[in-house]
């Protein structure tokens, strides 16, 4: 133990040594907050605190697993096994299972993911005959979610004229009704959504003092990482549980609060001192993660925020290379830059894929990066986005499995009742839904009693419904004695899912089959793992719980070497030697939606701070001058965040023309080929105060699509490079259209055109000087 403590600096040791009482560690990125939590938990255990009495809440389950592993290294795995560690959602889902019946839920309640929730809300909107262009299901869902996270129940909503008025003002006067319907339908289905896991925990702790007392007694030491991003609902849970012993240790960084849009409340950290008596506050100042250049660049940016706690972050690490800034013409080119830079660094610096991360503001940006990485054969992994478990075929299997555990689960039932097709049509499902709503029962229960209810179904349909019910019941019987793998394999066969995909025979169908196989492999892993740990059966219910709560980050086994692609939000708490922050453009990052108020802009800036501080050795900031957004090529200006960083920490990679300003967003002429540069000067070099952000006309005024290439026989352009290589029959790759075969070539010089048959999109005629083709 002493060894691990001695590896901490003095400021880090102090909070480790404080055994009892409320404490908060506020410190900048990379200063060892998470590490202190790890050592502190080990130290508590070495003092004799029972692992069962410690609760640690982390941002991802992966973080929890890593922490547990480190603690195992220090105190031994037998002890560490008993720690309660995980995200708020996973820890409280476990507690809710134990206590569910008190709240009227079955202990086998289903956890709806956001896809299930949005689907249910869409159905409700349709049933209520509302306009889905006004009541957009995703928007309605996020509104309901924010009510839940602020503990505004349906009842509280209807008691609050202000909220109702606000929804009415935004043309959604019936939002409350949707909310009420949604809650009722979830309840009837024996399902909780993600927000319910917190809301219902609060309800449990409020309504049942004996339950509260039990868990207060159990969790005598509570530790919370990333406290700045807890929402009101989470805050109240921590508050309630720690109220008796007040042994609460939270760590966080107000400068990294990036979830306000989801209800996280930065005041939780600012007000901590007021919430408890005799709070000890610790500050850590030394950053161990990053080079001086990165730390200083990050400091210079966060300085621009007005709302912040003043703190010092410094590092004894080397200066390291400067933060590199790179400009591209298009997002496609940006992707290629990232890929070739990774390629080169790997070669020259002996790095491996896992040491690189590409971070972006929105998921949609990954496409251009992916394309470029694929072309260079660089393996990558996308975190977030559509995860494995949300793929159609996987969800189909999972929904059958969910029904086995909880036949009331309406979303699961509706999804698979007629897939693979078994002659149960939409009208029948509608009738069942109406009956279920009428009797306040689940659809499955209606189906079980189909003989007693007159739904005007013909006898053939009734038989099909009975067959379905019997099939699910037969699975339930198997589930009582067999493990999850056995059952899952049986289900995929007996339901006809596998046959359906085999019959399909298309490459997509085969890929889907492989995915199902992969799912079965995963279930096998799970059951084997469970058997090893405590001789348990590897029950299906536990597997489904794991899946319901899995985020992509959690599934990272860490054993394959891939470049990591993720949104900045997901990158919180992580670190990589090389980090690319891409798409640094106005209206993208900062996001156009965040430019209305100072506080929104400051949240974007904190997000940028989080991104930059993930880098250990080298950070790259890249932007494109034009980008496909919403299907249209849009001009873009460099993000203000680049300008806000002090110049001394930056290195501009593109050669700048000498204007006296930092760099010039002029057009990189190369890709256009035969262009007479002298005719293209759109701006004069200026001196004195820059008229626009970079002392140049905004990039947006240099509409690159308007530029006309000049026919010139003395061209030394790159286009000739493509041009000379191409012959009919070549298979080529085009940036946007993908793979195609050259059918014909015509014209000469700058007018040379190719007729290409693309795998997707058919035959197109392209001017070679524009079409950036690569022969493959």
Residue closer to ligand ATP (CB basis): 182 or 576: 576
Residue closer to ligand ATP (CB basis): 63 or 582: 63
Give residue for tokens 């904190």: 606
**Taking CB within 5 to 8 Å according to partner kind, which of ligand ATP, Mg ion, none is near residue 340?**
none
Beta bridge partners of 264: 231
Residue 701's CB is within 10 A of a number of other CB atoms, namely: 12
**Taking CB within 5 to 8 Å according to partner kind, which of Mg ion, ligand ATP, none is near residue 15?**
none
Query: Mask 546-575, x = binds ligand ATP (CB under 6 A)?
Result: ---------------------------x-x
Give residue for tokens 């890709």: 671
Beta bridge partners of 579: 357, 619
Q: Which residue is nearest to Mg ion (CB)?
A: 34
Query: Mask 251-270, x = binds ligand ATP (CB under 6 A)?
Result: --x--x--------------
Torsion 270-275-278-280 (CA) sign: negative
User: Which residue stretch of 5-13, 420-428, 590-598, 623-631 sits at the interface with ligand ATP (rule: CB under 6 A)?
Assistant: 5-13
Count residues near ligand ATP (CB under 6 A).
Answer: 19
**Taking CB within 5 to 8 Å according to partner kind, which of Mg ion, ligand ATP, none is near residue 334?**
none
| Active-site residue, selected from the candidate residues 99, 195, 225, 602 | 225
**Contacts with 345 (C-beta within 8 Å, 6 or more apart), sequence order:** 351, 356, 578, 618
User: Which residue stretch of 80-88, 151-159, 571-579, 589-597 sits at the interface with Mg ion (rule: CB under 5 A)?
Assistant: 571-579
**Is the distance from CB of 26 to CB of 55 less than 8 angstroms?**
no
Give start and end residues of each alpha helix (H) in 482-635: 484-494, 497-504, 507-534, 540-549, 568-571, 598-612
636 marked among binding-site residues = no
Cα of 206 vs its chain's centroid, Å: 31
Minimum Å gap between C-beta 600 and Mg ion is 25
Q: Does 35 bind ligand ATP (CB under 6 A)?
A: yes
Beta bridge partners of 223: 56, 249
SS3 457: coil
Alpha carbon of 160 to those of 169, 195, 196, 336: distances in Å?
14, 20, 20, 53
Q: Does 8 bind ligand ATP (CB under 6 A)?
A: yes
Residue closer to ligand ATP (CB basis): 64 or 399: 64
Q: Does 719 bind Mg ion (CB under 5 A)?
A: no
**Contacts with 668 (C-beta within 8 Å, 6 or more apart), sequence order:** 327, 328, 329, 654
Q: Does 252 bind Mg ion (CB under 5 A)?
A: no
SS3 60: coil
**Contacts with 400 (C-beta within 8 Å, 6 or more apart), sequence order:** 412, 416, 472, 475, 491, 495, 497
Helix (H) or strand (E) holding 24: strand 23-27
User: Which residue stretch of 28-36, 39-47, 83-91, 103-111 sits at the interface with ligand ATP (rule: CB under 6 A)?
Assistant: 28-36
DSSP 631: T
428 marked among binding-site residues = no
Q: Does 30 bind ligand ATP (CB under 6 A)?
A: yes
Residue 687's CB is within 10 A of a number of other CB atoms, namely: 9
Q: Does 62 bind ligand ATP (CB under 6 A)?
A: no
The tokens for 360 are: 């972006």
**Taking CB within 5 to 8 Å according to partner kind, which of Mg ion, ligand ATP, none is near residue 289?**
ligand ATP
| Active-site residue, selected from the candidate residues 12, 34, 286, 482 | 34
Minimum Å gap between C-beta 450 and ligand ATP is 55
Strand (E) positions, 160-293? Answer: 191-193, 221-224, 248-252, 280-284
Query: Mask 284-303, x = binds ligand ATP (CB under 6 A)?
Result: ----xx--------------
Active-site residue 239, yes or no?
no
Residue closer to ligand ATP (CB basis): 290 or 433: 290
**Taking CB within 5 to 8 Å according to partner kind, which of Mg ion, ligand ATP, none is near residue 527?**
none
Active-site residue 220, yes or no?
no
Angle ∠(682,683,686) on CA atoms, nearest 5: 170
**Taking CB within 5 to 8 Å according to partner kind, which of Mg ion, ligand ATP, none is near residue 12?**
ligand ATP
Residue closer to ligand ATP (CB basis): 59 or 543: 59
| Active-site residue, selected from the candidate residues 185, 614, 640, 664 | 614
Active-site residue 34, yes or no?
yes
Scan residues 439-478 and list those touching Mg ion (CB under 5 A). Answer: none
**Contacts with 136 (C-beta within 8 Å, 6 or more apart), sequence order:** none
Residue closer to Mg ion (CB basis): 335 or 573: 573
| Active-site residue, selected from the candidate residues 116, 226, 254, 735 | 226
Scan residues 29-48 and list those touching Mg ion (CB under 5 A). Answer: 33-34
**Taking CB within 5 to 8 Å according to partner kind, which of ligand ATP, Mg ion, none is near residue 30?**
ligand ATP
Give residue for tokens 């793979």: 739
Give residue for tokens 């004195």: 688
Q: Does 573 bind Mg ion (CB under 5 A)?
A: yes
Please report how the helices 194-207 and 232-242 are oriented relative to each other, as an axis angle in degrees rounded to 10.
40
DSSP 586: T
Q: Does 417 bind ligand ATP (CB under 6 A)?
A: no
Residue closer to ligand ATP (CB basis): 370 or 575: 575
Residue closer to ligand ATP (CB basis): 201 or 613: 613
Among 23, 29, 394, 732, binds ligand ATP (CB under 6 A): 29
**Is the distance from CB of 444 to CB of 413 less than 8 angstroms?**
yes
Question: How is 139-193 classified by DSSP, letter by letter?
Answer: HHHHHHHHHHHTT--HHHHHT-HHHHHHHHHTT-TTHHHHHHHHHHHHHHTTEEE
| Active-site residue, selected from the candidate residues 58, 201, 256, 482 | 256
Q: What are the helix and strand counts (H, E) for the chain?
A: 32, 21
CA–CA distance, 662 with 668 (Å, rounded to integer): 16
| Active-site residue, selected from the candidate residues 33, 40, 395, 769 | 33
Active-site residue 586, yes or no?
no
**Which residues participate in catalysis according to the annotation?**
33-34, 225-226, 256, 614
Residue numbering of the annotated binding site: 27-34
Site for ligand ATP, rule CB under 6 A:
7-9, 12, 27, 29-35, 253, 256, 288-289, 573, 575, 613
Site for Mg ion, rule CB under 5 A:
33-34, 573
Residue numbering of the annotated binding site for ATP: 27-34
């Amino acid at each position: 133990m002493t060894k691990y403590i001695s590896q901490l600096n003095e400021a880090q040791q102090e909070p480790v040594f404080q055994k009892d009482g409320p404490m908060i560690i506020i410190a900048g990125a990379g200063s060892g907050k998470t590490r202190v939590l790890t050592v502190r938990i080990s130290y508590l255990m070495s003092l004799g605190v029972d692992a069962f009495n410690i609760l640690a809440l982390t941002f991802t389950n992966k973080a929890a697993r890593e922490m547990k592993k480190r603690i195992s290294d220090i105190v031994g795995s037998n002890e560490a096994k008993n720690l309660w560690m995980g995200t708020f959602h996973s820890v409280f889902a476990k507690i809710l299972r134990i206590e569910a019946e008190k709240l009227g839920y079955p202990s086998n309640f289903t956890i709806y993911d956001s896809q299930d929730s949005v689907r249910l809300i869409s159905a409700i909107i349709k049933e209520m005959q509302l306009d889905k262009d006004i009541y957009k299901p995703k928007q309605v869902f996020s509104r309901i979610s924010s009510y839940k996270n602020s503990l505004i129940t349906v009842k509280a909503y209807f008691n609050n004229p202000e909220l109702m008025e606000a929804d009415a003002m935004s043309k959604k006067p019936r939002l409350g009704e949707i909310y009420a319907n949604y809650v009722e339908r979830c309840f009837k289905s024996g399902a909780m959504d993600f927000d319910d896991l917190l809301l219902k925990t609060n309800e449990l702790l409020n309504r049942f003092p004996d339950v509260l007392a039990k868990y207060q007694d159990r969790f005598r030491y509570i530790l919370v990482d990333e406290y700045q991003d807890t929402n009101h609902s989470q805050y109240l849970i921590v508050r309630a549980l720690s109220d008796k012993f007040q042994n609460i240790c939270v760590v966080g960084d107000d400068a990294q609060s990036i979830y306000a849009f989801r209800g996280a409340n930065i005041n939780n950290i600012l007000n901590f001192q007021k919430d408890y008596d005799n709070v000890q506050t610790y500050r850590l100042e030394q950053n161990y993660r990053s080079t001086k250049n990165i730390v200083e660049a990050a400091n210079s940016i966060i300085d621009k925020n007005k709302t912040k706690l003043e703190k010092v972050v410094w590092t004894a690490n080397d200066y390291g290379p400067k933060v590199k800034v790179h400009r591209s013409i298009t997002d496609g080119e940006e992707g290629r830059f990232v890929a070739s830079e990774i390629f080169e660094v790997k070669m020259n610096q002996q790095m491996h894929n896992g040491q690189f991360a590409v971070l972006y503001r929105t998921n949609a940006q990954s496409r251009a990066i992916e394309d470029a990485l694929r072309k260079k054969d660089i393996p990558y992994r996308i975190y977030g986005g559509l995860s494995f478990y949300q793929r159609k075929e996987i969800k189909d299997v999972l929904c059958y499995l969910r029904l086995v555990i909880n036949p009331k689960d309406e979303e699961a039932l509706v999804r698979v009742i007629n897939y693979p097709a078994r002659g149960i049509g939409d009208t029948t499902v509608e009738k069942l839904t109406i009956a279920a709503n009428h009797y306040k029962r689940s659809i499955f229960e209606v189906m079980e009693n189909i003989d007693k209810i007159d739904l005007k179904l013909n006898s053939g349909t009734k038989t099909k419904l009975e067959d379905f019910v019997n099939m699910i019941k037969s699975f339930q019987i198997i589930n009582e004695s067999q493990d999850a793998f056995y059952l899952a394999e049986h289900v995929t066969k007996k339901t006809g899912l596998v046959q359906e995909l085999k019959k399909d025979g298309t490459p997509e169908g085969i890929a889907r089959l492989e995915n199902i196989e992969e799912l079965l492999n995963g279930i096998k892993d799970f059951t084997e793992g469970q058997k090893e740990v405590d001789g348990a059966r590897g029950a299906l219910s536990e597997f489904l719980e794991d899946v319901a709560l899995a985020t992509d980050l959690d599934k990272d086994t860490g054993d394959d070497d891939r470049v990591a692609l993720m949104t900045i939000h997901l990158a919180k708490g992580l670190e990589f030697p090389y980090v690319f922050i891409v798409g640094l453009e106005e209206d993208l990052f900062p996001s156009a939606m965040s430019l209305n108020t100072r506080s929104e802009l400051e949240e974007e800036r904190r997000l940028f701070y989080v991104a930059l501080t993930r880098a250990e050795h080298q950070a790259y900031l890249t932007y494109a001058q034009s980008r496909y957004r919403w299907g249209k090529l849009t001009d873009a200006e460099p993000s203000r965040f680049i300008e806000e960083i002090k110049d001394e920490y930056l290195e501009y990679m593109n050669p700048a023309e000498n204007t006296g300003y930092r760099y010039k967003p002029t057009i990189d002429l190369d890709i256009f080929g035969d262009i007479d540069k002298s005719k293209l000067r759109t701006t004069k070099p200026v001196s004195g105060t820059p008229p626009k952000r970079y002392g140049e006309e905004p990039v947006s005024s240099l509409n690159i699509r308007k530029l006309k290439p000049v026919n010139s026989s003395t061209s030394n352009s790159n286009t000739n490079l493509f041009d000379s290589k191409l012959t009919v029959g070549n298979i080529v790759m085009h940036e946007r259209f993908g793979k195609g075969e050259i059918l014909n070539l015509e014209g000469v010089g700058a007018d040379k055109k190719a007729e290409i048959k693309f795998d997707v999109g058919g035959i197109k005629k392209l001017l070679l000087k524009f079409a950036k083709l690569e022969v493959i």
